[in-house]
Structure 1
Amino acid sequence: MNVLDLIRPSIKALKPYSSARDEFKGNTDDMVFLDANENPYENGVNRYPDPQQGTVKDLLSKLKGIPVENILLGNGSDEVLDLIYRAFCEPNIDNIITLPPTYGMYSVLANINAVGIKEVQLSDNFQPQVDKILQIADNNTKLLFLCSPNNPTGNSFSQKSIEKLLKEFNGVVVIDEAYIDFSDVPSWIERLKEFPNLIITQTLSKAYGMAGIRLGICYASKEIISVLNNIKPPYNVNELTQQRAIEQLKNHELTQSQVQCILHERATLVDKLKKVSFVSKIYPSDANFVLAKVDDATKRYNELIEKGIVIRNRTSQPSCENCLRFTVGTQAENETLIKVLKELK
């Protein structure tokens, strides 16, 4: 497969917008910038941000062992996913495959971009049904979305299943690894060079504790990254976001420490949820949340709201009837949750 053959013809022919900062790539020290019609009075954000987020990418490159040319940054992972749709899917012609229960934005973005949706429900143990996926794909199926670890179920997908899909699916496989830092399963970044049709998305919103700055990350071949760069807005990641991301990425030890605390609290939360009378099942989790089956999810959700605790009711999702999703909080937050749950009748 030549993955570039999957790019929309209009995107291939696109002449990308060249911003003022794209045109100048030299040393900025002691330079006078009169090219971008900015307000000249310095306040820290009066200049346009680096359109290619060079410093952030350099730090990610060192942390992940991936060349900068294989990295694209977006205004949250949702922008990254939207760019992927725009690059590969012809509106009102092409379609994608999702595996419910899964992250709802895959379908929302498909609808926004007028792209068809094919669904293959996960198996009873929340794994991809590989043969069904390959059978349902047609010549206009451009993207397959795999969320691993999966949201809302929390489990990682079989490496063997993913590898087979990468080898046999005649389109682009997008692996959403938003929760990979909480898992013992290795990231598919390690095998990026093997599969030209592989795109991996990650985020600073979970393990790195930066949900408020909205920074999504895409890892792919340099050919795919080049196409996505051509269609992204020129200054899609603002200066304040870049500054905060740089600070956090330089303090990687803090992130690792917090992840270990969350993993410890996850194990403790699971043990205590098992002792709640109306909890009948707790699903294995490789994420920073736990999915649990209860007697009446809507009733318990509303009771917790009344007690000032907000969780997610996932009972409307396929195979998640009467399931609640609990994010792992601090020790104090988790203890408050368990205390309230045990008080409910």
Structure 2
Amino acid sequence: MNFDINKIIRPNIKTLKPYSSARDEFSGEASVYLDANENAFGSPLATNYHRYPDPMQYAVKMRLSAIKGVPARNIFLGNGSDEAIDILFRSFCNPGVDNVIIVPPTYGMYEVSANINDVALKRVNLTADFQLDLDSIAEAIDVNTKLIFICSPNNPTGNSIHREDIETLLANFNGIIVVDEAYINFSRQKSFIQELTEYANLVVLQTLSKAWGLAALRVGMAFASEEIIEVFNRVKPPYNINEASQQLALEALQNVDQVNQWIKELLKERDALVLAIKDFDFVVDIYPSDANFILVKTTNADAIYKYLTQVGIIVRNRNKVELCEGCLRITVGTKEENEALIDALKQFKES
């Protein structure tokens, strides 16, 4: 495999001169800032937010570098992982010409971003046990295939994709393989971020929304080669992560031990939840999970979903998703929330 970023980057992006913000042109400390047309009087809040944030989120990246074992220059921070997904399309896919491959059932934003960016989508369904169909993927690849998206652990199925299958694609595909690891903190599998030096065409997505409990802050991460990260930084808006999110993320990232403890508790609750509901008459199967949710195949997903909403419990109905017919996706909650779900399901009666 001879991956060459210059062969897949869009010509207009290759020559793009990024917007130069006031904070790009001056970095460091000064006593008087009169360069960015900010409100010098401050903010009508207890904390001042009148200064523009660090456009490259240096402090947050340095902390993530220490936690992840990846140099800061290999990290991109986005307004959620969704921003990184969109930038991949805008940077490497020519609208109306190129195509990408997704492997349903999978995270829905890949398809939405493809449609927004007018990029053709090729769907190669996972196998019956929710693994990659490598032969069908190979057949789907053509000269205009720029990206392949693989979610592992996968949403909505919960399982990890076989590592050797992903490595096979990385070694043989001349475009970019995107491994979305939003749920990696709950998995027994190791992250692909340690393989960045091995594969120039690898982009790994992670997030602070799941295990780190910061969904409201919208901080997503992309890990890739310096060449690819440089493209991300060229295309992104100048101040894509606001100051409040940067400061709160930095504060949260000091609490690794707390997050690891929550993960242990959640995995115990996941096992307990599976045991508690597996023998209900309406439960056909519970698929193995490496995530903070379980996919449950039922005899009547629509009726169970409707009943649960009526008693104030919201799960995700995946009945209309390919290969997930009859399935509900249930996020693992606290002990009390899980017990409330179990008690409610005990009262459910099929009509």
Please give the TM-score of this superposition, normalised by the length of structure 2.
0.97
Superposition deviation, residue 31 in structure 1:
2.7
Q: Aligned pair 1:98/2:102, yes or no?
A: yes
1:99-143 per-position Cα deviation (integer Å, ceiling 9, x unaligned) = 000001100000000000001000000001011101111100000
Q: Contact 1:74–1:217 at 8 Å: present in 2 too? A: yes
1:253-284 per-position Cα deviation (integer Å, ceiling 9, x unaligned) = 11111111111111111111112221110000
The amino acid that maps onto 2:279 is K
| Secondary structure in 1 matching 2:146 | strand
Q: Contact 2:106–2:156 at 8 Å: present in 1 too? A: yes
Which residue number in structure 2 is paired with residue 64 of structure 1?
68
Q: Contact 1:141–1:171 at 8 Å: present in 2 too? A: yes
Which residue number in structure 1 is paired with residue 4 of structure 2?
2
Q: Aligned pair 1:325/2:329, yes or no?
A: yes
| Secondary structure in 1 matching 2:100 | strand
The amino acid that maps onto 1:227 is V
Please give the TM-score of this superposition, normalised by the length of structure 1.
0.98
1:275-314 per-position Cα deviation (integer Å, ceiling 9, x unaligned) = 2221110000000000000110001100000010000010
Superposition deviation, residue 3 in structure 1:
2.3
Separation in structure 2 between the aligned mates of residue 201 and residue 243 of structure 1, nearest angstrom: 21
| Secondary structure in 2 matching 1:250 | coil
Which residue number in structure 2 is paired with residue 179 of structure 1?
183
Q: Aligned pair 1:268/2:272, yes or no?
A: yes
Separation in structure 2 between the aligned mates of residue 160 and residue 53 of structure 1, nearest angstrom: 34
Q: CA RMSD in A?
A: 0.8
Residue identity (%): 54
Unaligned runs of 5+ in 2: none
Separation in structure 2 between the aligned mates of residue 8 and residue 223 of structure 1, nearest angstrom: 14
Separation in structure 1 between the aligned mates of residue 174 and residue 203 of structure 2, nearest angstrom: 14
| Secondary structure in 2 matching 1:62 | helix
Separation in structure 1 between the aligned mates of residue 233 and residue 158 of structure 2, nearest angstrom: 31
Given candidates 206, 229, 232, the residue that maps to 1:228 is 232
Alignment of 1:8-157 (within 5 A): 8-26=10-28, 28=29, 30-43=30-43, 44-157=48-161
Given candidates 214, 221, 244, the residue that maps to 2:218 is 214
Q: Work out the number of aligned pairs and report it.
A: 343
Which residue number in structure 2 is paired with residue 204 of structure 1?
208
Q: Aligned pair 1:313/2:327, yes or no?
A: no
4+ runs of 1 displaced by more than 4 Å?
Answer: none
Q: Contact 2:107–2:151 at 8 Å: present in 1 too? A: yes
1:170-201 per-position Cα deviation (integer Å, ceiling 9, x unaligned) = 21000000000000100000111100000000
